[in-house]
Chain A
Amino acid sequence: MLRVVLVGISIIISYVFQTTFSSGISFGVAAPNIIMAFVCSYALLRGKKEGMYVGFILGILVDLFYGYYDVIGINAFLYMIIGFVIGMFHEIFYLEDILIPMAVVGVCDFLYNFIYYVITFLLRNKLDFIYYIKAIILPEMVYTIFITVFIYRLLMYFNKKLEAFEKRGEKELD
């Protein structure tokens, strides 16, 4: 229960950070995608089920307020799939290594922006893909990878604390 509340709070915090602070810390046009870093880090730390839920909720939040032409479901779907797929790596990878989340976030952010480009730009006949890769996708990707270092460490720290706390609770119950 405590975990649900804490995750709920951290979802709101990451969403609000993305909408308020990200433009303040942006270089040029590229602002980091804190939501992506959060979803990937969380999915890596907790597995596919929780990753899926967190991705879905954050995606719905993004769609509700900043959905493309007020259409709800595109971001929810993308973030949910990302949360689910990345969550499958939970059991495979050694989670202390920071390079893995960085690589994962990089790939996910690229794919997400690529699909988002196809849906919102390519279908409106804006074909200069190379330009958009250079101007938007790559800068955002690099910056998001950078941000991941902090977000992942922070999440890992709190996750450890929480897991220890949950174990203690279980022992007391026995």
Chain B
Amino acid sequence: MKKPGKKVIPTKYILSFLCVLCAGLVVLTMINSNIARPIREAVSTIILPVQKGMNQIGEWFSDKADMLKELADLQEENERLKAENEELKHENVIASQQRAELERLRELLELDDVYADYPKIAARVIGKETGNWFSIFTIDKGLSDGIGLGMNVISDGGLVGCVTYVGENYAKITTIINDDSNVSAKFASTSDVCIVQGDLKNFESGMIRVTNINIDANVKEGDMLITSQISDKYVPGILIGYVSGIEDDGNKLTKSAWVTPIVDFSQMEEVLVITQLKVTGEE
């Protein structure tokens, strides 16, 4: 196909040029990762619609598969849910009584409602990180929908992670199980503060590791772990998971725990983004 007379640049020159280009890009984006923003926006206008379409196809298939499977289970589940509903009705009555009492006591103590309902935006997961090393997701809402950097993300009532990059129409979420994530958390029952560490190694077993718990903390299996007030990224009071094992660090100062997260990180389809940002006091 080569036209005679037309000069062809040898492949090795192109390769060396591209190598230098890569090295240059690495250095440039290390110094300032915002340089690539315009390119990223441009490319995302091509990729995002395809990703969304592909997801819809995938969901359609899995819905059909689920439907077949579910028909059989549905009746059984209905029975179970009816029984559960009765129980819940009863519990609800007690809970509403307790809430009334709580409000009364709050008024008495002039306490603010600490765990207010946060404003949320629903979003769909449209992409996942390409390798197996990290746990990063893309959602289909971005700046234009009111998503901002550092907003917390929840799913199934549990903490997923926080927004680490926002594009015009998409955002990237780094999960709490990502290998270099750290979340400051506390135990709901005892208010002991600890650190939730994302680690690839632990997540294989379906758990996350919690470190830096005071040795005197009265923590037991089944305790609820929630985000703490002192975290600089996460709003307080979001459920993370339940303790399923405690172990002594052997240094007479701290102990560690294993926590089973609420969120099923491998099966996420829809997430809620909390649009209220954590107020850290620094500008």
Contact = CB atoms under 8 A, between A and B. Distances in A.
Interface of A: 12-13, 15-24, 26, 28-31, 33, 35, 48-49, 52, 56, 61-74, 76-77, 80, 84, 113, 116-117, 120-121, 124, 126, 128, 131-132, 135-136, 139-140, 166, 170
13 contacts: A13-B50, A21-B58, A31-B132, A64-B39, A68-B134, A72-B28, A72-B36, A73-B22, A74-B22, A74-B26, A77-B23, A124-B180, A170-B1
B172 interface: yes
Contact of A61 (B21, B24, B43): B43
A80 B22 contact: yes
B198 to A, nearest CB: 12
Contact of A23 (B21, B51, B128): B128
Query: What secondary structure prevails in chain B residues at the interface with A?
Result: helix
Given A31-B132, A76-B25, A52 B18 contact: yes
A63 B131 CA distance: 11
B200 interface: yes
B33 A69 contact: yes
Interface in B1-22: 1, 11, 14-15, 18-19, 21-22
Interface residues of B, number: 49
A170 B25 CA distance: 39
Contacts of B99: none
Interface of B: 1, 11, 14-15, 18-19, 21-26, 28-30, 33, 36, 39-40, 43-44, 46-47, 50-51, 54-55, 58, 62, 126-134, 136, 138, 165, 172, 179-180, 200-201, 203-204, 266
B40 A48 contact: no
B130 A19 contact: yes
Contact of B136 (A18, A49, A66, A84): A66
